[in-house]
Structure 1
C-alpha cells in the first residue's frame, strides 16, 4: 500500500482555527485506491516545523509528502510550484521568532521545484468541481520555510519520495468579520483527497498553461 503524508499547521496569528489542519485531520486514516492518507499536525514555527515533518517522514516512510497551509484571500486551492531559500517574516511565528532576510539552509540552493504533478492535480480537482490553480509563490513565512526545508530533506535523504506544498483558502467561519474570500471545508477536503491520489498515481506531469502575467 502506498502512503501519502499530509501535514497541516496549527492556528497562527490571531486565528483560532487553521483550515489546513482541519482538512488533513478529516483525511487521516482514509484509504483510497489502495493509498493510505496520514495526517500530521505541524507547529507554525520556524525550524521546528521542518523537524516535525522530518520525524514524520522517518516514522511513516511515505511515498509522497504534501504539506498544506492557509493562504487567506486566495479563492482557489493552489499547489505551489517553487520554494525559495529565504525567511522574511512580516509577523512572528507562534513562538515569537521573526527571521528577516535569512536563508533557510545556509549555502543551500536558491530554490527547489515541487516534485508533485501539480498541473495534473489541478486538472483533476477542476474536473471534480474544485477551484484550483498553480501558485508561483509560497510567500516567505513558515509555509515557504517548511516547503523548502522538506524538499531539501527529501533531496538529501530520500530522493525517491515526492514532495510539495498546497495552499488553501480561508473557510467561511474565518471570514465573518473581514468579508474575505473563502471555501467550504468539505470542498477543500475533496480537493486535497483527489490531489493526494493523483500525486501517487501520476509520475509525469501534463503540459498545460498555468502561468500568470504578473
Structure 2
C-alpha cells in the first residue's frame, strides 16, 4: 500500500481557519492504492519543516504534498520552484519576522518541485477546476517549508516526489480576495493532484 503525506497549515494573521487545512480534512483516508495522512503544521519558520521532516523519516511516504493558502489568488496553484529566501511581510505565529535572509547559506538558490505539476494543472482544468502553475511560492512560511523539505530530501538522497500547492480562499470566505471554488471543490482539486501523482 502506498502512503501519501498531505501537510497543511493552522490559521494565522488573525483569521479563524486556514483553507489549506479545511480542504485537507475533506480528503478521503484512501485514494486509489494510497493511504492519505494529513498533518497540520504550525505557521512558524523552520518549525513546520522540522515536524514534517520527522514524520517523513518515520513514514517514508511515496509522495509528499504540502498545502498552504495564497489569499491573493483565485485558483489552485501548484508551485514550480522553492527559493532560498525568507522575507516575512508579517510575523509568524511565534513572532518571528526574518527579513531577506537565506534559508540555507550553503544551499541552492532554488529547488524545483518533483511533482508532475503540469499534469496536475491539466487534470484539474479538465474537471472544470480553476488551476494554473505558479512560479513563486512567496517568501513566507509556505516557501520556507517548501524549500527546507526539498533541501532535506535532496540532502538525504530520498527520491520521494514532493512539492507545494497553494490554494485560494474559498467562495464563502470573508477575505477580500476569494475564488469561485468552494472548499469541497478545492479538496477535489487536491484529490485529483494525488491521483495524478500516484497514477504515474
TM-score bracket for this pair, using the shorter chain length: over 0.9
Shift of 1:158: 4.4
Q: Tell me how many residue pairs correspond in the alignment.
A: 199
Q: Secondary structure at the match of 1:51?
A: helix
What are the equivalent positions in structure 2 for 1:1-214 lying under 5 Å apart? 1-27=1-27, 30-175=29-174, 178-182=175-179, 183-202=181-200
2:84–2:109 CA contact under 8 A, matched in 1: yes
Flag structure 1 segments of 5+ consecutive residues without an equivalent: 203-214
1:116–1:164 CA contact under 8 A, matched in 2: yes
Change (3 A) 1:111 1:171: same
- Tell me how far apart the structure 2 counterparts of residues 73 and 110 of structure 1 sit (CA, whole Å): 25
Q: Secondary structure at the match of 1:16?
A: coil
1:83–1:114 CA contact under 8 A, matched in 2: yes
Q: Secondary structure at the match of 2:129?
A: coil
- Across the aligned residues of Structure 1 and Structure 2, the Cα RMSD in angstroms comes to 1.2
Q: Secondary structure at the match of 2:196?
A: helix
Question: Taking structure 1 as the reference length, what is the TM-score of the superposition?
Answer: 0.89
Q: Secondary structure at the match of 1:5?
A: strand
Stretches of 4+ aligned residues off by more than 4 angstroms: none
1:46–1:142 CA contact under 8 A, matched in 2: yes
- Tell me how far apart the structure 1 counterparts of residues 139 and 88 of structure 2 sit (CA, whole Å): 6
- Tell me how far apart the structure 2 counterparts of residues 200 and 141 of structure 1 sit (CA, whole Å): 29
Shift of 1:75: 1.2
2:31–2:194 CA contact under 8 A, matched in 1: no
- Tell me how far apart the structure 1 counterparts of residues 102 and 188 of structure 2 sit (CA, whole Å): 35
Flag structure 2 segments of 5+ consecutive residues without an equivalent: none
- Tell me how far apart the structure 2 counterparts of residues 163 and 151 of structure 1 sit (CA, whole Å): 7
Shift of 1:181: 2.1
Q: Secondary structure at the match of 1:36?
A: strand
